[in-house]
Chains A and B, each alone.
Chain A
Amino acid sequence: QQPGKRTITGTVVDETNQPLPGVTVVLEGTTTGTITDFDGKYSLTLGDETGNLMFSYIGYQPQTFPIPETNVLNVQMKEDTQEISDVVVVGYGVQRKSDLTGSITSVGTDDFNAGLISSPEQLINGKVSGVQIMQNSGSPTSGSTIRIRGGASLNASNDPLIVLDGVPLESGGISGNSSNFLSLINPNDIENMTILKDAASTAIYGSRASNGVILITTKKGSTTKGIQVNFSTTNSVQTRTQLPDMLSRSQFMNVINNLGSDDQKALLGDYSTDWNDEIYHAAFGTDNNLSLSTRVAKNTPMRVSVGYYNQGGILKTDNAERLTGSVSLSPSFLDDNLKFNLSAKGAHNNNTFAQTGAIWAASTFNPTLPVYSGTDDFGGYDEAIDNTGNPVNGGVRNPLGLIEQYNSTSKVDRVIGNIDMDYKFSFLPELKFHATGGYDYAKGKGHIYVPAEAAQYYTTSGRDYTYGPQKSSNRLLTTYFNYNKYYDELKSSVEATLGYDYQYWKTTTPLYQELNTLGEAQSTTAATDQRHAMVSYYGRLNYGYDGRFMLTASLRRDGTSRFSSDNRWGTFPSVALAWRMDQESFLKDNPVLSTMKLRLSYGITGQQEGIGNYNYLPVYTYSQDGAQVQFGDQWYYSYRPEAYVSDLKWETTKSWNAGFDFGFLENRISGTFDYYTRQTEDLLATVPAAAGTNFDKTILTNVGNVDSHGIEVTINASPIQSKDLNWDVSFNMSWQKMKVKNLSLIEGGSTTNTLVGPTIDSYQFQVLSEGYAPYMFYLYHQLYDAETGKPIEGAYADLNGDGEINSSDLYRYHSPAPDFIFGFSSSLNYKKWTMNMSFRANVGNYVYNGMAMNTGAWSTVSYNSYQLNNLSTSFLETGFNSRQYLSDYYVENASFLKMDNLTLTYNFGKIWDTCNLNINGMVQNVFTITKYSGVDPEVPNGMDISFYPRPRTFSLGLGLNF
């Protein structure tokens, strides 16, 4: 140490002993000072001055201490007001919430949904404005659809990018868990989920950022001594809710006896079977988690957790079982200048998939027939057989037989490991180097067995085969430098980040054959080997002036292997400004308004997920067994060219976001408001190719644009704050409009009407049209009898007035996307009691009641002479003879209000020495209020047919920590 110079060091923590970054440390009465780093540490080199050090930080009481002899001064800050000034994880770093310039919402453990949570995204369902999360069905193996601001794309993926502890996860699923890849992460290991919504926040993720980003941070070990143990268990029972409205047994008998032919009447039996009772049951679930948090050695926090989750489905045999484990170690060296975080998470899943075809079968199977035939044929199940003694070709099978004679299991393993390193340069403490090495590996395989005697594959002798293992790996290297300095004389803080990322994905599946029980191949599916890589350079600058003005600018350059070398590099800039009005002199001491921040941002993001890895290359596919060609007496395999577009490139989205954050009465009422617009260009859309010009009817190419704009509002309030009684409420609202601007591949082409969406008997019901919202229903306008009000079969409005009803009379009628989404939650705490509730509502979403259409016409009562099918009660209203696929009669307003959660917790507090206990009772999917007549107003793609009903879940939980 130089004579006369000394360096004062220390750590600044908050009341919970968490390090506090960004605290200003100044020698009293001078301009000499510094700012604490991410870990709350500071280091200030002084001459021979003496005096006091002043510690100040927004939201905390300023404190002054004399410089001690030891030159080490650790400080604990005390909160000034109720203001929450926590740190928020952003892309490649953290930021103080008060310094944020973008539209970011962070949800921590305290605000997570309670109950039996199958998958991490369910923790925040209904909690965040602009985020729509829909569990795809009631099955425990089903995944969710997550949309942030409705997504920006048409055919490319609309899924947000999910980043787990700095590792961007591969979208899509894996064999044996295809629908819910995220479920392999134990929700109990999650500390926080942060949602980046506007382009200014997401653009740092460049080409994958258009649909928003979800950053998941998992729990880490504790910095204090001693061992903290947490144990929680939740046990639940699920019951079925709404089912399709089919004719009762007596209604069915009446209809057949009145309208049926003699042959049909003869097919009525003497039994009374409720087929839904046969296939559904109450399902049990359990979720148990044990975690251990401690500090090993001197500077090494550690956390270990294990979890066991097992959830049955209300459809018999459906089951998901998950065993998870995680370890995290955070050692630090060199006086905390070098820190590591090592973590590993593992999951082992065992799934059993029920034969969901039984849902349709149970709705439509003849209720006058018995479950069992009394013979040994077809395993004893009563089946419809034809004149050859075989199960009727294309007939409906016995629902219980479908379930019990179908055994489909899968095993999926996943390991995610990452090593983070932070190094602070001793010669320049403002500069930090960070590196993350991440590896995500998953393996899934499955087996399907159907006995030879089962009616479902009777004529092909059952099924017995294994598929997979599919192996999926994702390697990541992230490195960045971070420079963070406060220039006291300029009242300016500067933070700059400059980084490089490399990510490589590989997924392989071996060839597999669908074999029957005799070992004969029914089909052969080719092996796959898909790889892609991405290289990125990025930088970000945060500039703050006087705690009042903030500017964030970022730039990312991405290169991907999915495009040709001419197109593979894209640049994604963003800039954002914020003005903390509450720090201005005219508002600073305002007794009512405690927070007021204006934000404005603009950014360009890209999108390249949801497309193939080699779509720009002229790829040829070899054929498999059974798809050969006879030349002479030999069978030749063939080569097929695949459609390709050599100049494929990114889809880009330009977004504006304007918003403000506000707080009143010491932030007892606080909230945010955002308005945004987005223009997506060069959409990666699947459009018809001019016939003969490529090797498919449609090609995925860059075409057209989509515009959207929307409003998001969040309001949090604490109406009651007292010693014994506290009440917090939170409300959020989103409104969005989206419009397809252009979809023509070649200029001069006529207006496109591309049919899209789910199909029934190859009818499609939705359309993409220029000038309209995407996915609107595209149907005929039903005419009604003026007297009875009943729809007239086959009578539709001649909308173009040409005297005939044909496809030019189809019109666009509403869309499945809601206009408004609302979320509301309430937490009421009285002494040791807490009651939480959460509600969700969608307004203006429409659903096609496919079940009513497809079972609601007389002709659907029999498709062959051996079987009667039950009808929808819709038949009683319409009396339709034939199915009216394209009638708008079946599109219904499906606005709804759902109570998702009701939780009552009793916190015993310390029950003995060091042990805390709480118990809780929960109900999930409590009720739904809707005018929609089908099974559930919230169904994928606005199509309600054979929907696996979402169960109501009752659970009891117990939490222990010591």
Chain B
Amino acid sequence: CENDLDQYPHEETTSESVYTTADNYKAVLAKLYASFTTTGQERGGGNSDLSSNNGQDYMRCYFNLQEAGTDEVASTWLEGDKVIDLTYLSWDANDPWVSDMYYRIYYTIALSNEFLRNATDDKIAGFTEDEQADIVHYRAEARFIRALAYYHALDLFRNIPFVTEEDPVGAYAPPRYTSSEIFTYIESELKDIEGDLLSRSEVEYGRAPQAAAWTLLAKLYLNAEVYTGEDHYTDCITYCNKVIADGYSLEADFQKLFNADNDLRTNEIIFPLPVDAENTVSWGTTTYLICGEVSNTSDYQDPAAYGVTSGWGMFRVRGELPALFDETDGRNLFFTEGQTQYLEEIDNQSYGYFMSKWTNLTDAGETASNTVDGGVNTDFPLFRLGDVYLMLAESVIRGGSGSSTAEALNLVNELRARAYGDNYDTDGKLTASDLTLNFILDERARELAWEGTRRTDLIRFGKFTTDSYIWQWKGGVKDGKAVDSKYNYYPIPTSDLTANPNLYNEEY
């Protein structure tokens, strides 16, 4: 009877039997992608991935960390949702959102490492040539996903623990890597996988093409000075050019990039994170943005106009953001009726405009799903061509070579033309002298508001913590104030300092 002491799971399986078919490799790869939008193996987060306080998904955390403290967001549920410290730029190493983000990032990294550990040439040698070729692509994508997660970790936390597939699963303390070391690692990984990623024309929707790696390299280079002290604007331009040369083009209708049919916008969207009210139910990602931008108190705003069954009343924007827009700018997408522009109180839904950029409407203007039941159908465009244009333009202005001011002006004007439509010639068109650094920062806010880049942009421009740009309630006071420069990055959460003696926070 002692043989009965060898018990193995029946409904679940073990790694030994998972990595026996190429299909299963794809199913494991699928989890790496899913780790950005969902939180568990069951609909809407059931059987959750992480035993964590809040249990929110990667993108909800990412949005909060990138946007909640900036002029782009005024949160309503400061206390109940524990976003008060993110909002006032006063977090510490015990902040639940900082912790959730950190652990979601390292979860994605751990998943990628596990896949790579099991996808070595040796381990896949038994498959057919076609299958091996597929797995080589999967492997490159797993490395891309890991590089993306490390990029987020670098951008948010700077000096961080470093783990790869060479490390075991178990109790040990990963080394601390400085931001420069991580920078070098991400750079070399992305360059290394370029050839193994699928091209734009071959790739299935939802998977990362070569251009996704190039875009990520461009982002890495654009912010290199923040991370390493050295600039890489020429490199940024190189990779922006690669993306542009790959055949992407701007979508004519700006709003269609952010609606429930935006999976059709593969002309502009380089790397989407798909969600679906039927098959990929996420209570974060775009559901958070779309249900969150709709009030549950306004007498005027109609949830149905956003494809939403009922609003969550999560957010408004601070007054400085709408101030950046011209009336005739087609990206000026705010719901203002019954609202004041500026905020007497930050957590009162009657102050501040609601965002109306994101919707759960189909191209035909119909509600795409019951948002109470399964969230929205709108995918999150993590990388898109509009951002690449602005990165190129900014790098040119900052002195990078490989392009020209004329080209930069041309690209920015393409975005302006789409935004202003008929008013482009009168209101929107830029001349070379308009193209200044501050203009780029503002233009990025107009083009990319609520797409998760505001904090990174403000830091690159030295405006996130300083008094060179003040927005309402920055630092927790109504008129705003500068805060300590340590808030340019987030602290390693206390729980990981406990678990890993190699880590420390210099300023927190």
Chain A interface (Cβ < 8 Å from any Cβ of B): 386-388, 390, 392-394, 459-460, 502, 504, 516, 520-529, 531-535, 559-561, 565, 568, 613-614, 617-633, 635-642, 644-647, 686-699, 701, 744-755, 759, 761-764, 806-808, 859, 864-865, 882-883, 885
Q: Does B281 contact A (CB under 8 A)?
A: yes
Asked if B14 and A689 sit within 8 Å, CB to CB, the answer is no
Task: Knowing that A393-B296, A626-B278, A692-B163 touch, tell me 16 more A-B residue pairs with CB under 8 angstroms.
Answer: A393-B310, A394-B296, A527-B11, A533-B4, A533-B7, A618-B169, A626-B44, A627-B281, A635-B279, A690-B173, A693-B167, A693-B170, A695-B111, A697-B52, A752-B498, A806-B94
Asked if B14 and A618 sit within 8 Å, CB to CB, the answer is yes
* A709 vs B53: C-alpha distance when bound (angstroms): 32
Majority-rule SS of B interface residues: loop
* A865 vs B205: C-alpha distance when bound (angstroms): 42
Report if A761-B496 is in contact (Cβ < 8 Å); known contacts: A623-B41, A693-B163.
Answer: no
Asked if B41 and A694 sit within 8 Å, CB to CB, the answer is no
Asked if B312 and A393 sit within 8 Å, CB to CB, the answer is yes
Q: Could you list 16 A-B pairs, sorted by A, with CB under 8 Å?
A: A459-B372, A460-B373, A535-B1, A618-B169, A624-B42, A626-B281, A629-B274, A632-B206, A639-B30, A640-B41, A689-B171, A691-B174, A695-B107, A695-B110, A701-B171, A865-B296
Asked if B15 and A618 sit within 8 Å, CB to CB, the answer is yes
* Set of chain B residues within 8 Å of A522, measured between Cβ atoms: 43, 373
* Set of chain A residues within 8 Å of B171, measured between Cβ atoms: 645, 689-690, 693, 699, 701, 745-746
Asked if A749 and B13 sit within 8 Å, CB to CB, the answer is no
Q: Please report which residues of chain B, range 484-501, place their CB below 8 angstroms from some CB of chain A when the two chains form the complex.
A: 494-501
Query: Which residue of B is nearest A700, CB measured?
Result: B51
* Set of chain A residues within 8 Å of B204, measured between Cβ atoms: 631-632
* A88 vs B303: C-alpha distance when bound (angstroms): 71
Q: Does B47 contact A (CB under 8 A)?
A: yes
Q: What 1/0 mask marks residues of chain B from 188 to 232 whose CB sits below 8 Å from any chain A CB?
A: 000000000000000011110000000000000000000000000
Query: Which residue of B is nearest A857, CB measured?
Result: B79
Asked if A638 and B41 sit within 8 Å, CB to CB, the answer is yes
Asked if B205 and A535 sit within 8 Å, CB to CB, the answer is no
A710 CB to nearest B CB, Å: 29
Asked if B24 and A639 sit within 8 Å, CB to CB, the answer is yes
Asked if B47 and A641 sit within 8 Å, CB to CB, the answer is no
Report if A629-B280 is in contact (Cβ < 8 Å); known contacts: A691-B161, A746-B173.
Answer: yes
Query: Which residue of A is nearest B32, CB measured?
Result: A638
* Set of chain B residues within 8 Å of A747, measured between Cβ atoms: 501
Asked if A694 and B298 sit within 8 Å, CB to CB, the answer is no
Query: Which residue of B is nearest A882, CB measured?
Result: B79
Asked if A529 and B11 sit within 8 Å, CB to CB, the answer is yes
* Set of chain B residues within 8 Å of A686, measured between Cβ atoms: 51
* Set of chain B residues within 8 Å of A807, measured between Cβ atoms: 92-94, 494
Asked if A693 and B1 sit within 8 Å, CB to CB, the answer is no
Asked if B297 and A865 sit within 8 Å, CB to CB, the answer is yes
Which residue of A630, A701, A762 is within 8 Å of B53 (Cβ)?
A762
Q: Please report which residues of chain B, range 164-187, place their CB below 8 angstroms from some CB of chain A when the two chains form the complex.
A: 167, 169-174
* A814 vs B172: C-alpha distance when bound (angstroms): 34
Which residue of A520, A521, A619, A633 is within 8 Å of B13 (Cβ)?
A619
Q: Does B40 contact A (CB under 8 A)?
A: yes
Query: Which residue of A is nearest B26, CB measured?
Result: A636
Q: What 1/0 mask marks residues of chain B from 7 to 18 whose CB sits below 8 Å from any chain A CB?
A: 111111111101
Query: Which residue of A is nearest B277, CB measured?
Result: A626
Report if A695-B27 is in contact (Cβ < 8 Å); known contacts: A528-B11, A632-B205.
Answer: no
Asked if B174 and A619 sit within 8 Å, CB to CB, the answer is no
Q: Does B450 contact A (CB under 8 A)?
A: no
Asked if B41 and A883 sit within 8 Å, CB to CB, the answer is no
5 closest pairs, A vs B, by CB?
Answer: A626-B43, A632-B204, A692-B163, A529-B10, A691-B106
Q: Does B28 contact A (CB under 8 A)?
A: yes
* A411 vs B103: C-alpha distance when bound (angstroms): 41
Asked if A523 and B280 sit within 8 Å, CB to CB, the answer is no
* Set of chain A residues within 8 Å of B52, measured between Cβ atoms: 697
Query: Which residue of A is nearest B276, CB measured?
Result: A630
Q: Please report which residues of chain B, range 114-166, place their CB below 8 angstroms from some CB of chain A when the two chains form the complex.
A: 114, 161, 163
* A748 vs B303: C-alpha distance when bound (angstroms): 54
Asked if B281 and A620 sit within 8 Å, CB to CB, the answer is no
Chain B interface (Cβ < 8 Å from any Cβ of A): 1-2, 4-16, 18, 24, 26-28, 30-31, 33-34, 38, 40-44, 46-47, 49-54, 79-82, 92-94, 96, 102-103, 106-107, 109-111, 113-114, 161, 163, 167, 169-174, 204-207, 263, 274, 276, 278-281, 296-299, 302-304, 309-313, 370, 372-374, 494-501
* A286 vs B161: C-alpha distance when bound (angstroms): 63
Query: Which residue of A is nearest B1, CB measured?
Result: A502
* Set of chain B residues within 8 Å of A516, measured between Cβ atoms: 373
* Set of chain B residues within 8 Å of A390, measured between Cβ atoms: 309-310
Query: Which residue of B is nearest A516, CB measured?
Result: B373
* A276 vs B464: C-alpha distance when bound (angstroms): 51
* Set of chain A residues within 8 Å of B38, measured between Cβ atoms: 627
Asked if A623 and B92 sit within 8 Å, CB to CB, the answer is no
* A56 vs B298: C-alpha distance when bound (angstroms): 91
Query: Which residue of B is nearest A635, CB measured?
Result: B279
Which residue of B13, B299, B494 is within 8 Å of A620 (Cβ)?
B13
Query: Which residue of A is nearest B33, CB measured?
Result: A629
* Set of chain A residues within 8 Å of B106, measured between Cβ atoms: 691-692
Asked if B6 and A565 sit within 8 Å, CB to CB, the answer is yes
* A617 vs B299: C-alpha distance when bound (angstroms): 56
* A698 vs B373: C-alpha distance when bound (angstroms): 30
Which residue of A504, A647, A692, A864 is within 8 Å of B296 (Cβ)?
A864
Query: Which residue of A is nearest B93, CB measured?
Result: A807
Asked if A621 and B34 sit within 8 Å, CB to CB, the answer is no
Asked if A388 and B10 sit within 8 Å, CB to CB, the answer is no
Report if A754-B4 is in contact (Cβ < 8 Å); known contacts: A522-B43, A640-B31.
Answer: no
Query: Which residue of B is nearest A629, CB measured?
Result: B30
Asked if A628 and B207 sit within 8 Å, CB to CB, the answer is no
Asked if B42 and A524 sit within 8 Å, CB to CB, the answer is yes
* Set of chain B residues within 8 Å of A624, measured between Cβ atoms: 41-43, 46-47
* Set of chain A residues within 8 Å of B207, measured between Cβ atoms: 631
